[in-house]
Amino acid sequence: RPATQSGSAPPEDEPYNIIPLHNLLFNHPSLRFPEVRAAIAALRTVGNLRMPPQAQLPTMDLLDWLALFFGFQRDNVKNQREHLILHLANAQMRLSPPPDNIDVLDVGVLRTFLRKLLKNYTNWCSYLGKKSNIWFSRSSHSDHRRDLLYVGLYLLIWGESANLRFMPECICYIFHNMAMELNRILEDYIDQNTGQPAMPSTLGENGFLNCVVKPIYETVKMEVECSKNGTAPHHAWRNYDDLNEYFWGRRCFHKLKWPIDAGCKFFVTSSERKRVGKTGFVERRSFFNIYRSFDRLWVMLFLFLQAAILVAWEGEEYPWQALKVRDVQVRILTVFVTWSGLRFLQALLDAGMQCSRVSFAKLGLGLRMLLKVVVALAWIMLFAVLYRRIWVQRNKDKTWSEEANRRVFLFLQVAFVFVLPEVLALALFVLPWIRNFIEESNWRICYLMTWWFQSKSFVGRGLREGLFDNVRYTLFWAVVLATKFAFSYFLQIEPMIKPTKQLMDLREEEYDWDEPYRGRYKLAVGLLWLPVVFIYLMDIQIWYSIYSSFVGAGVGLFQHLGEIRNIQQLSLRFQFFASAIQFNLMPEEQLLTARGSYKAKIKDAIHRLKLRYGFGKPYKKLESNQVEAHKFSLIWNEIITTFREEDIISDLEVELLELPHNAWNVRVICWPCFLLCNELLLALSESKELVDAPDKMLWRKICKNEYRRCAVIEAYDSVKHMMFEILNVQSEEHSILSAMFQEIDHSIEIEKFIKTFKMTVLPQIHMKLIKLVQILTKPKKDVNRVVNTLQALYEIVVRDFIKDKRTVEQLREDGLAPRDPAVMAGLLFGNAVKLPDPSNEKFYRQARRLLTILTSRDSVQNIPANIEARRRIAFFSNSLFMKMPHAPQVEKMMAFSVLTPYYNEEVLYSKEQLVTENEDGISILYYLQTIYDDEWKNFMERMRREGMVKDEEIWTTKMRDLRLWASYRGQTLSRTVRGMMYYFRALKLLAFLDSASEMDIKEGVRELVSMGRDVGLDSLNPERSPSPRSLSRASTGFLFKGHEQVTSSMKYTYVIACQIYGAQKAKKDPRAEEILYLMKHNEALRVAYVDEVSTGRDEKEYYSVLVKYDQQLQKEVEIYRVKLPGPLRLGEGKPENQNHALIFTRGDAVQTIDMNQDSYFEEALKIRNLLEEYGRYYGIRKPTILGVREHIFTGSVSSLAGFMSAQETSFVTLGQRVLANPLKIRMHYGHPDIFDRFWFLTRGGISKASRVINISEDIFAGFNCTLRGGNVTHHEYIQ
């Protein structure tokens, strides 16, 4: 694309990603944030810096300055400019208290980011003994600018490094040298060779890509070709990790040099050329790896087996009885001979598999491997000689003489020396901070202390956890191993001794030499022990599973998991639900005192106890605080709206589940109808039983159940309001009703209701009221029937309900009868009824709710009918009573992204796919209709409400809706996009609630009611039009949706890595059209793909491209195009796809989601809480990966799928729960996990991509995290 001409303002319609940085005069809400303006202003402080050659930009910032000097691409600069500004602005928004001058970038924010971004680089410099090239000046202004230059330089290097991003120390090497060149420019160094001011070695267009990235990329590419698509032995070629390990040694500075020496042996230009081999671990395919990788486990099992057999051979009942025998004690010493033999085997395997490193690494490595073999062999010989001498002396003296005991003592002394390293390791395990210090220290003395045990390595140092975590880990395994070994001794080994002795005592019969029966008893002994030994070696995993289940259940119990498992249990706590949402999801005012203080923690714990167990009746606060009630109503109703959009509930269930707006001035909270089911009828039955009791007793009994109390009050207030609504205000009947209700209210107030009215008449009134409301809610309303019912109600009240019989005159005096006798002679209410207009949805919606309260007898457990809806409601409600961090305001939350790799899977099911039958005559649509029959009925009901007249229209005008319905029930990209966009929708709602006034919230509730349930909160906006109908989702322009839209865009980005999207567009693939449809209907969605551009003569150029759908231009627009050094895929496809799109993500965290995954709106509401976990310590470290639980949604497909779902659910919940707590050994097992983005960005990315080795790329991300000192946690209040 042509660059903007100098001197001309960029066009306003130039595409941008989130912030229009090309035109700061643009009236965009994001530019109104002072933090954004401060970050932009800081980047523009070029000042008196030396100008690069050919600098023609009219408005240059520091990133432009770096690009012109170091040869970075224009779009890479644009991408990283927005990346840096967004991060600095978001970080400054989170400051508490805010800085004094919010229009200036806070230096602390910049320094904190600089330290985090370059932490791995500074550790690398310290490890290699190199002085860091991060220089700081004394001038505060220069510091500010220099810090930005360092940060910008690293981000620009990272953003253009392509496949090199899998090699973090390689990027450290590049940054180290380019930072030195930057320092020379800033300090006005003079080049000694030319006498001119120092210039970078990458100066020129695309200089960095061509001079630095491409040579290393070509080496990686050539190594991949040497791998023969992964079939070659691992030791014959270098993968990403092998190449990166080259930069763990100082020789990279001497061999590679700077500018990079292309003649260095590190580079590979042909397969015949001799090159640098592996410098770290050498992977060799061998069955011996089973022993070599788990040698400590094998040693433990073999030594105990040997000792147990020796002890059990004595035939004593208990092992401690046998251990009193001196002969047994001495025989057990043979375990040291076995132990030394196993060490020899381990040393031999190490030397055999790692010998190829010796010629390329230091000579000390080969010397150490040789010495280990020799020393291990020497220990075998020494133990064998000493042990033989013990028995020689014992047999000579015929008893355990003093000399024999002296030789035993000598053996024990030598054995103590043998196990001394293990004792030292145990001591360091008890004192983990000492071992961490020794491993992390780069002092030569510390390296010499550990030289014998391990090679010097940049990763895998200082990984020990704190003392408390070590104790929990040790206790768990001590119990597991004690149980396993006790079981093995008493139930496996000891019972085998007697039959073994009997077989061995049998006399061998004489056979000829050629007969095959010789030694058959020995063979029988072997066959007898074989299965026992196999079970002995394997059953440790069974004992781990058993104890893991017990511990996991205990941890879940203390976390209050599963306390609400169904709707009936939810109904018991729903009265505390609003306070729980307020406590967890609504941010409190941030006080100057630290939120993490002990006082605050105790206060939070007490509050959670009140919420969980109802102490203090927190629901009563809800009635007095209407703002809290309205906030709860907005959140709950939006959850129910999403349920209806997903067709897991029906229209009727929406009315039963939603929290309606209090349109009829009801004095209590209008709880959802499903909570009030049968409550009014139960209250009526109680009133029958207590016809003569005092008012207080009856009311006290009713008030024992909060929902019953609310049902009675709401029914009474609603009946009163409804009758006033259907009567003409000027009519006499209206006055009669007013007097009647005043008398009832007065009797209640003075507590003489039972004395004034007959309680036995209430059922009659109840039946007439039901009849009245049923008439009103019918589509065709008969006014005459309404009049007749009102007349009948009036007669029951004045003649039967009132205990004191009154004459007509008394009724007139009390206002309960018309003044005109002629009216009494005729039909009362005949001319007074005025039914509301049928379009008055608010009235008839309330009338239907009243009818439900009056008539409902259904069980709470059956609402909603859909099992999935019940499960989701139960989990969400239960999670709000679990311990979780408090949610900050949306503006102060951590920004995050979601990244989904996509290749060529289904986006939307086509019509042909839906109707095509398989060999069994079953189509996809028929199958989905069968297993989701209730959801299909709900879908058809929604289509009819949206205008479908005939069912056949589902194949014509509603075809798109049908395809979406089916696709949302398969493993398609559209389902994943819908789930991930719930984050954006939730953040908009939460941003509105954070800043909206009480009037805004009340008006929002009213307008949502007036708009009906079809419109969700996507359209809610404080700057709304007075017309409710103008608030449809598609009616508001892109730039004028209020601050909620922009705030959410700054905090959340969703990028799909559609690797071949460019090729799909070129081929007119339907999938490309469907991806465009998803972008069009999801504004926060971005698509990254690799574009192949032919340049002639079979040559191609490759670009990482980011596109979005521009709502103003109504078309797809290209935002960034970053040139790649070559084809994207050198390793495994999925991690390579993730890696190329990672540069387009934003925020402090990134969640990796596969395209067969989904999410829920109600869970998205808790994302702010989850991200706050990054600020907490778990052990001695803060988390770098936040693990979350999964729900397997394919369990309903078949019985086999149900079994696999249960198996997977147990693994991703209970299994990982124990791995994280108490064991603290959880890695990364799946793609709901959330990564600390900048931590991983500087340490090799969120996955590994070496061909064949890293097929399961996500588990290697967990390995990488642990080896580099990260911390993986697991959280179950979100799924």
Q: Which residue has the tokens 């602005």?
A: 89
For residue 821, what are the CA distances in angstroms to 320, 586, 812, 828, 1051?
A: 109, 61, 10, 11, 72
* Residue whose tokens read 């707006």: 661
> In this structure, are 966 and 1047 located in the same domain?
no
Phi-psi label, residue 894: left if phi above 0, alpha if psi -120 to 50, beta otherwise: beta
Burial of 565 (0-12, 13-18, 19+ CB in 10 A): middle
Q: List pLDDT tens digits, range 595-650.
A: 566 777 787 777 777 777 666 654 454 554 567 777 888 888 899 999 999 999 99
Q: How confident is the model at residue 1088 (pLDDT cuts 50, 70, 90)?
A: very high
For residue 112, the number of C-alpha atoms closer than 13 Å in the C-beta half-sphere is: 12
* DSSP state letters, 122-146: HHHHHHHTPPP-----SSHHHHHHH
- Cβ atoms of 42 and 35 closer than 8 Å: no
* Residues 1021, 915 share a domain: no
Looking at 424, 456, 488, the residue that finishes a domain is 456
User: Peptide bond before 864: cis, by omega within 30 degrees of 0?
Assistant: yes
Residue 983 pLDDT > 80? yes
End of a domain among 971, 998, 1016? 971
Q: Model's pTM, two decimal places?
A: 0.88
Query: 1153 with 1270: CB under 8 angstroms?
Result: no
Hey, which residues does 1089 pair with through a beta bridge? 1105
Pick from 233, 251, 274: which residue ends a domain? 233
User: Rounded to whole angstroms, what are the CA distances from 1066 to 737, 1070, 1073, 1089?
Assistant: 74, 11, 11, 13
Residue 931: domain span: 910-971
Task: Give me the pLDDT at residue 11, please.
Answer: 54
Judge if 846 and 927 occupy the same domain.
Answer: no
Residue 914 in domain: yes
Model pLDDT for residues 779-798, shown as the tens digit of each residue: 888 888 888 888 888 888 88
Q: Hey, how many other C-beta atoms are within 10 angstroms of the C-beta on 734?
A: 17
Q: Which CATH number is 1230's domain given?
A: 3.90.550.10
Position 591 pLDDT exceeds 80: no
What is the tens place of the pLDDT at every residue in 856-877?
Answer: 876 666 788 898 999 999 999 9
Task: State which H helix or E strand residue 1151 sits in.
Answer: strand 1149-1152
What number is the average pLDDT over the span 797-813? 82
In a domain, 557, yes or no: no
Residue 253: pLDDT over 80? yes
Shared domain check, 351 and 314 = yes
Q: Are residues 864 and 952 both part of a single domain?
A: no
Q: State whether 802 and 904 are in the same domain.
A: no
Q: Which amino acid is at 953?
A: E
Whether residue 329 lies inside any domain: the answer is: yes
1085: its two tokens: 């969605």
Given a cut of 90, whether residue 820 has pLDDT beyond it is: no
**Burial group, residue 341, by CB count within 10 angstroms (0-12, 13-18, 19+):** middle
Q: Which two tokens stand for residue 1015?
A: 């419109």
Q: Are residue 1111 and residue 1258 in the same domain, yes or no?
A: yes
Rg (CA), the chain: 38
Whether omega for the bond prior to residue 259 falls within 30 degrees of 0, making it cis, is yes
H-helix segments, 625-752:
626-645, 651-657, 673-676, 679-689, 695-703, 706-726, 732-749
Q: For residue range 732-759, list pLDDT tens digits in order.
A: 888 888 888 888 888 888 888 888 888 8
Peptide bond before residue 1127 is cis, with ω within 30 degrees of 0: no
Condensed to tens digits (0 to 9), the pLDDT of residues 137-154 reads: 655 445 688 999 999 999
Segment among 350-359, 564-573, 1168-1177 with least mean pLDDT: 350-359
Q: Are the C-beta atoms of 68 and 52 separated by less than 8 Å?
A: yes
982 and 929, same structural domain?
A: no
Read off φ and ψ for residue 407, nearest 5 degrees: -70, -35
Average pLDDT over residues 1087-1113: 90
Residue 1162 sits in the same domain as residue 1208? yes
More confident residue, 889 or 809: 889
The 10 Å Cβ neighbour count of residue 118 is 21
- The whole-number pLDDT of residue 515 equals 53
Alpha-carbon span 489 to 499, nearest angstrom = 15
Q: How confident is the model at residue 834 (pLDDT cuts 50, 70, 90)?
A: confident
pLDDT digits (tens, 9 = 90+) for 927-939: 999 999 999 999 9
Q: For residues 638 and 933, is the Cβ–Cβ distance under 8 A?
A: no
Angle at 143 between CA 138 and CA 147, to 5 degrees: 145
The tens digit of pLDDT for each residue in 518-552 reads: 567 778 888 889 999 999 999 999 999 999 999 99
* Percent of the chain residues past pLDDT 70, beyond the cut: 88
Residues 1046 and 1193 in one domain: yes
- My answer on whether 938 and 1017 are in the same domain is no
Please choose, from the candidates 210, 194, 186, 231, the residue with its C-alpha nearest in 3D space to the C-alpha of residue 72. 210
Residues of the chain with pLDDT > 90: what percent?
A: 35
∠1270-1271-1276 over CA atoms, to 5°? 150
Strands across the sheet with 1085-1096, in order?
Answer: 1115-1124, 1099-1110, 1085-1096, 1052-1058, 896-902, 1149-1152, 1234-1236, 1185-1188, 1272-1275
Please say whether the beta carbons of 736 and 814 come within 8 A: no
pLDDT for 1013 equals: 43
Q: What is the pLDDT of residues 1009-1054, one digit of tens each?
A: 555 444 343 433 333 333 322 323 332 222 224 678 889 999 999 9
Residue 1200 has a pLDDT of 82
Range of lowest pLDDT (266-270, 840-844, 914-918, 1132-1136): 266-270
- Alpha-carbon distance of 232 to 1253, in angstroms, equals 12
Other C-beta atoms closer than 10 Å to the C-beta of 113 total 19
Q: Which residue has the higher pLDDT, 974 or 198?
A: 974
pLDDT of residue 362: 62
- Tell me the pLDDT tens digit for each residue of 1196-1208: 777 787 788 787 7
Closest CA to 908 of 971, 958, 981, 980: 971
Is 582 part of a structural domain of the chain? yes
Which one of 55-59, 210-214, 947-951 scores highest in mean pLDDT?
210-214
Specify whether 748 is located in the same domain as 868: yes
Tens-place pLDDT, residues 1055-1070: 999 999 999 999 999 9
> Per-residue pLDDT tens for 12-29?
568 899 998 888 777 788
Question: Do residues 1259 and 1185 touch, judged by C-beta distance below 8 A?
Answer: no
Dist. CA 197–CA 185, nearest whole Å = 8
Q: Kindly state whether residue 954 falls inside one of the protein's structural domains.
A: yes
CB neighbourhood size of 794 (10 A) = 19
Does some domain include residue 618?
A: yes
Residues 6+ away with beta carbon under 8 Å from 589: none
Is the CB of residue 557 less than 8 Å from the CB of residue 601? no
Least-confidence region, from 51-55, 167-171, 892-896: 51-55
Mean pLDDT of 656-664: 83
Is the pLDDT at 695 greater than 70? The verdict is: yes
Provide the 3-class DSSP secondary structure of residue 239.
coil
What is the rounded average pLDDT for all residues in the chain?
A: 84
Confidence of residue 992 (pLDDT cuts 50, 70, 90): confident
3 state SS of 478:
helix
Q: Which of these ranges, 62-71, 191-200, 350-359, 1186-1195, has the smallest mean pLDDT?
A: 350-359
646's tokens: 């997903």
pLDDT (0 to 100) of residue 1032: 30
Select the more confidently predicted residue: 905 or 1024.
905
Residue 347 is assigned to a structural domain of this protein: yes
The count of domains in the chain is 5
Tokens of 1230: 């799946």
Residue type (1 letter), 1192: I
Confidence at residue 1033, expressed as pLDDT on a 0 to 100 scale: 31
Give the angle subtended at the CA of 26 by the CAs of 1026 and 10, to the nearest 5°.
Answer: 145
pLDDT for the residue 259: 86
Instruction: State the CB neighbour count (10 A cutoff) for residue 230.
Output: 16
pLDDT digits (tens, 9 = 90+) for 1255-1275: 777 788 888 899 999 999 999
DSSP notation for 405-420:
HHHHHHHHHHHHHHHH
Query: Distances in Å between the alpha carbon of 1152 and those of 18, 898, 1145, 1185, 1230?
Result: 21, 6, 11, 11, 9
Tell me whether residue 84 is in a domain: yes
CB 204 within 8 A of CB 73: no
Tens of pLDDT, residues 1120-1154: 999 999 999 888 888 999 999 999 999 999 999 99
First-to-last C-alpha distance (Å) of the chain: 43
- Name the least confident of 256-265, 330-339, 501-510, 886-895: 501-510
pLDDT of residue 179 exceeding 80, the answer is yes
